[in-house]
Amino acid sequence: MATLRMTTPRLLALRALLDDPDREWYGLELATHAGLEPGTIYPILVAFENCGWLRSREDEIDPRLEGRPRRRYYTLTPDGAVGARDAVAGADRRRSRTLNRKLAW
């Protein structure tokens, strides 16, 4: 399983994906749910897809009939769900250790 450098935006995206691990999300919907700007979510989704944590598919609609552009939907892969849970748990452990430290003075 691939490892990625975890940033706060990536962790927010993972937490949102883990809210419903079997759901298909489109980018703007996921960005809104994660509290991220739309321009931030797409590079994250590409990185997760490139490492095998997400799979995607394009809408099979006629944009003229629907009155909107096609969407790309993203779903966690089994490896992605495991990686996401591990990454979020690791971040929570690091945060907990940081909050429990006592000041030296």
- pLDDT digits over 8-63, tens only? 999 999 999 999 999 999 999 999 999 999 999 999 999 999 999 999 999 999 99
Distance CA 45, CA 56 (A): 9
With respect to residue 43, please indicate whether it lies within any of the assigned structural domains.
Answer: yes
Distance CA 9, CA 42 (A): 11
Q: How confident is the model at residue 93 (pLDDT cuts 50, 70, 90)?
A: confident
Domain limits for position 79: 14-60+67-92
Strands (E), 1-105: 25-26, 54-58, 72-76
**Which is more confidently placed, 95 or 41?**
41
Strand partners, 56: 74
pLDDT at position 2 over 60: no
Say what the pLDDT of residue 100 is.
58
Alpha-carbon distances, residue 59 vs 27, 48, 69, 70 (angstroms) = 12, 19, 9, 5
Say what the pLDDT of residue 85 is.
95
With respect to residue 36, please indicate whether it lies within any of the assigned structural domains.
Answer: yes
pTM (predicted TM-score):
0.83
> What is the count of structural domains for the chain?
1
Distance CA 20, CA 15 (A): 9
- Asked if residue 19 lies in contact with residue 33, where contact means CB atoms within 8 angstroms, the answer is yes
Say what the pLDDT of residue 91 is.
87
